[in-house]
Structure formats: structure tokens, C-alpha cells
Amino acid sequence: MAHGAAFATPPQSGLAWLCFLFPLTQAERLCAAILHLESFEEVDPQHPLGGPDGLKDVKYSKDGKTWIAAAYFPPKPPTFNEIQTKFDHDFCGVAANGAQAFAFFVNQPLTISERGELQSRTGGVPVEIYHLERIRSLLDAPKGCGMRNTDGVLEDSNDGIRAMGLLEHHEL
């Protein structure tokens, strides 16, 4: 099965916002909120309402290191090559911004080997990859409850995953 094949038709509810219909401005805000949940510090979204961001959607720090984050929430399922291309492009922001680490948020399921392939492209720079299931897990955890219910954007993500038919392809 090709990457993203589980997304043959757009979902109708719940995690649908995260998977297909989530506007980029909200995606960048969601990423910043997740970074707060993950105990990063000085979380600073750059231009979530649009505008040049200098290859960094969010700038933040942890353990004395400057991190940058990039959000890739395409409206339709990309191929893994498209995800790699976007990752490589956004990873250039590490050097361009004098950062020491990188986080990549993508609203698609990634296998362990796909995540490993992305991590292998960083030349040893620390990287965190927030893929669909990792994001879902954080939102479904008690600490993610406030984000899940904010403005009604995200509902129970298990319902959204059921609506997408992912239960057939991914265990919860």
C-alpha cells in the first residue's frame, strides 16, 4: 500500500481537522501548544497568521539549546518523497537560524522506518518528529484535553480516526 493510502476520502469529523482541513495558521498554533505540553521553553510562534518566517514556524528552547519547528499539514495525502522534500527544506532552517535542534510536525502517519529515514538526514542534529499518531496520543492524553476542546476544532481524536478508516490500518 502506498504511503497515505488509508486517506482515500476526506474524513468527516473529529481528527479530520488535524488530517485534512486544519488551516495552516491553526496547525502552527497547535504545534506551539504541543511544544508547551512537551515542556519546551520560550515557545515563540513566528508568523502563524502568514508572512515570512525565515524557515521556522516556531522557535523555542530546551536544556539550553535553541530549537526550531516546522509544520507540514498538507490538505491531501502526500507521498513519502514529498514529506522528505518538505522535511529537507524546513531542516535548512536549523543552520539559517543558528539553531541546534529541529522538530517536524506532519499530519500523516509515518512508519518507524520512515521516521528513521527522516532522522538520518540531519547529520546528528537532535530532531523530534511529531507524526499523526504521536500528535493524536498527546491530544488524547489528559494533559492535551484543553487543546482537544479549544474552539471545538479538535474533538475526540479516536472518533476522527474511526471516521478516516484508520483503525483498519493502524492500531490505536
Q: Give the pLDDT score at 161.
A: 42
Q: Give the pLDDT score at 23.
A: 58
DSSP run (H or E) holding 106: strand 101-106
Q: Give the pLDDT score at 101.
A: 96
Q: Give the pLDDT score at 139.
A: 83
* pLDDT averaged per 10 residues in sequence order, the chain, 172 residues: 42 46 71 90 78 80 93 89 97 96 94 97 96 87 71 46 40 42
**AA letter at 148:** R
**Confidence (pTM):** 0.76
CA distance 47 to 35: 16
Would you state the cell numbers that stand for residue 100, as one nine-digit string?
Answer: 541546534
Q: Give the pLDDT score at 84.
A: 97
Q: 164 near 54, Cβ under 8 Å?
A: no
CA distance 13 to 16: 5
